[in-house]
């Protein structure tokens, strides 16, 4: 009796699994792109660096969060002279006396379309109080935000890994390495999320965020490509 392997699955199941794995593969690429345009611009320079991670979670004690954003991921959202005026205002302590006559209209024109009370994931720039919070010294991601993002990340990504590893479990692969690969994305997912909290407390833990992300990405890539190859390449078909 032939062993139950990916190559011997019925055509309909292989199509389902392939569709899922290809979609997840594209999703991983989009997640990487999203990281590059958000966290990857925290220091104002393209590409993900340790400083990006430190600024995102621990904060940048040398300037305000709004300055970091205007020099980073939000740089293209307003003309240079507008950005410079906002940064100067923030550095001066964001005096409320200048809000109504000058900056309220500026934020309404360039920022409020995304930063409004209806967008719960973003700070609201419709009022002075909302802008004042991000014009203060950047203390990074709040513990409240970390709690919210952590549980969403753990629950959501764990389900994705469960299906990817369940499919890979039927691949013809060295048993020891198969078990290691199956465990790896879950372990590095925990390392990744835990590193956010540790970096919030101490910036020296920022390296663990990169290690965690690379670890589960590489393991997932190996399992996805191995599974796809064994489902469709004729040489894996058992007789």
**Total-model pTM:** 0.72
Q: What total of structural domains would you count in the chain?
A: 2
Answer with the one of 109, 135, 161 that is the final residue of a domain: 135
Residue 155 and residue 219 in one domain: yes
Question: Where among 89, 114, 135 does a domain terminate?
Answer: 135
List, for residues 179-214, the tens digit of each pLDDT value: 999 999 999 999 999 999 999 999 999 999 999 999
Of residues 190, 198, 195, the one with CA closest to residue 208: 195
pLDDT tens by residue, 116-142? 877 766 778 888 988 888 887 777 788
Which residues constitute the domain of residue 85? 64-135
- Look at residue 37 and tell me if it is in a domain: yes
Is position 114 within any domain?
Answer: yes
Contact status, residue 195 vs residue 212, Cβ threshold 8 Å: yes
Residues 116 and 101 in one domain: yes
Q: What pLDDT, on a 0 to 100 scale, did the predictor assign at position 41?
A: 62
User: Is residue 174 assigned to a domain?
Assistant: yes
What Rg, from alpha-carbon coordinates, does the chain have?
Answer: 23
Classify residue 113: in a domain, yes or no. Answer: yes
In a domain, 46, yes or no: no
125 in the same domain as 76: yes
The last residue of one of the domains, among 135, 154, 183, is: 135
Q: Are residues 12 and 85 in the same domain?
A: no
Q: What is the pLDDT along the chain (239 residues), one digit of tens a residue?
A: 457 889 889 999 999 999 999 999 999 999 888 888 777 666 567 777 888 888 888 877 667 778 878 877 788 888 889 888 988 888 888 888 999 999 999 999 998 888 887 776 677 888 898 888 888 777 778 899 899 999 999 999 999 999 999 999 999 999 999 999 999 999 999 999 999 999 999 999 999 999 999 999 999 999 999 999 999 998 776 55
What is the reported pLDDT for 10? Answer: 92
Same domain, 226 and 110: no
Q: What is the pLDDT of residue 61?
A: 67
Q: Output the pLDDT for position 187.
A: 97
Same domain flag for 37 and 148: yes
């Amino acid at each position: 009796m032939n062993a139950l392997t990916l190559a011997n699955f019925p055509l309909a199941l292989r199509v389902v699994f392939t569709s899922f794995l290809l979609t997840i593969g594209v999703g991983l690429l989009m997640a990487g792109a999203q990281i590059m345009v958000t966290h990857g611009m925290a220091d104002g320079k393209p590409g993900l660096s340790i400083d990006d991670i430190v600024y995102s979670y621990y904060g940048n004690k040398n300037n305000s969060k709004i300055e970091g954003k205007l020099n980073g991921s939000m740089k293209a959202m307003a003309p240079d002279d507008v950005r410079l005026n906002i940064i100067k205002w923030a550095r001066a302590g964001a005096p409320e006396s200048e809000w109504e006559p000058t900056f309220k209209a500026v934020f309404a024109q360039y920022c409020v379309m995304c930063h409004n009370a209806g967008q719960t994931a973003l700070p609201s720039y419709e009022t002075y109080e909302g802008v004042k919070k991000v014009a203060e010294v950047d203390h990074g991601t709040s513990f409240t935000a970390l709690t919210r993002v952590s549980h969403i990340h753990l629950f959501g990504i764990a389900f994705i890994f469960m299906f990817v590893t369940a499919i890979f479990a039927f691949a013809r692969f060295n048993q020891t390495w198969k078990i290691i690969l199956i465990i790896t994305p879950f372990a590095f997912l925990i390392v990744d999320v835990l590193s956010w909290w540790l970096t919030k407390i101490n910036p020296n833990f920022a390296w663990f965020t990169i290690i965690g992300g690379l670890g589960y990405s590489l393991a997932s890539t190996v399992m996805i490509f191995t599974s796809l190859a064994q489902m469709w390449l004729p040489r894996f078909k058992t007789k």
